[in-house]
Amino acid sequence: MNNNVVNLENVTKRFPAGKTEFTALNKINLSFGKGEFAGLVGPSGSGKTTLLNIIGSLDIPTEGKAIVLNKDIGQLSHKEAAALRNFGIGFIFQTYNLLPVYSVFDNVEFALLLQKMPSDKRKKAVMEALEWVGLADRAHSRPSTLSGGECQRVAIARAMVKKPQIVLADEPSANLDSKNSHHIVQTMKRLNQELKTTFIFSTHDEKVMQYLDRIIYLKDGMVEKDEQIITK
């Protein structure tokens, strides 16, 4: 095959809508290489989240083939899909989705606990990830005491701590002000360059778009335009 981390072939997703079906994704053909910093852009309902969910093995295509890190998403067992997410894919959500009763440290540590990483290695990795996002001094705070921007940085640390090959970020800046939006995208861009992690965003946000190397325009579940940005 090739060096792509994601290969989508004719990926179609239909949802039952009353008696008929609603086509949220219509024959999507896309691939993402290692180290890409790409974004899905498009109006609400165009299928951005649906596509990210399939790449993230949280959902399966109705038709077509989605190969992620050499795994066929449609063929994975629950356990295999969970392992793929645990080791290979980091998620960043619009609403941060931090676990409220855990400290910042515990939140970031969580994925490593699932990986059964030994404790000393784990502690080092968590602190390193918190350094990346500049929150090492807040390790023992509760998420409820952090600002939105800080929460999203914790979420980035949580996604990055396991050094996944792919990070999927669904509208990561939608709840943030402009300063924080810039900050988190810059952070992700830096990590993208340092660790060669593939980032795939979904966004409406101009501020995010200006950092992207590639913008894929979706409309009605189809790829309208796939644009490489060469300017630096």
Ligand X SMILES: Nc1ncnc2c1ncn2[C@@H]1O[C@H](COP(=O)(O)OP(=O)(O)OP(=O)(O)O)[C@@H](O)[C@H]1O
Binding site for Mg ion (CB under 5 A): 49
**Residue 24 touches which member of other proteins, Mg ion, ligand X, none, C-beta under 5-8 Å by kind:** ligand X
**Residue 101 touches which member of other proteins, ligand X, Mg ion, none, C-beta under 5-8 Å by kind:** other proteins
Listed residue (124, 187, 194) closest to 161, CA to CA:
124
Provide the mask over 142-171, with x wherever binding to ligand X is found by CB under 6 A and - wherever it is not.
------------------------------
Is 48 an interacting residue with respect to ligand X (CB under 6 A)? Answer: yes
Rounded CA separation 110/143 (Å): 14
Of the pair 49, 180, the CB lying nearest Mg ion is at 49
Is 196 an interacting residue with respect to ligand X (CB under 6 A)? Answer: no
DSSP assignment of 46-75, as one string? SSHHHHHHHHTTSS--SEEEEEETTEEGGG
Is 47 an interacting residue with respect to ligand X (CB under 6 A)? Answer: yes
Give the residues lining the site for other proteins (CB under 8 A): 53, 56, 58-59, 78-79, 81-83, 85-87, 91, 93, 95, 97, 99-102, 106, 110-111, 113-115, 158
Contacts of 17 (CB under 8 A, 6+ apart): none
**Residue 106 touches which member of Mg ion, other proteins, ligand X, none, C-beta under 5-8 Å by kind:** other proteins
Rounded CA separation 96/156 (Å): 9
* Candidates 30-38, 44-52, 70-78, 128-136; binding stretch for ligand X (CB under 6 A): 44-52
Which residue in 4, 7, 26, 50 binds ligand X (CB under 6 A)?
Answer: 50
Amino acid at 101: V
Closest separation in Å from C-beta 201 to Mg ion? 11
Rounded CA separation 12/221 (Å): 8
Closest separation in Å from C-beta 170 to ligand X? 7
Closest separation in Å from C-beta 232 to other proteins? 33
Closest separation in Å from C-beta 171 to ligand X? 7
Residue 16 pairs in a beta bridge with: 21
Residue 207, CA distances (Å) to 22, 110, 199, 232 in order: 32, 30, 16, 15
Helix (H/G/I), strand (E/B), else coil: 137 = helix
Closest separation in Å from C-beta 208 to ligand X? 13
Q: Helix count (H) and strand count (E) of the chain?
A: 7, 10
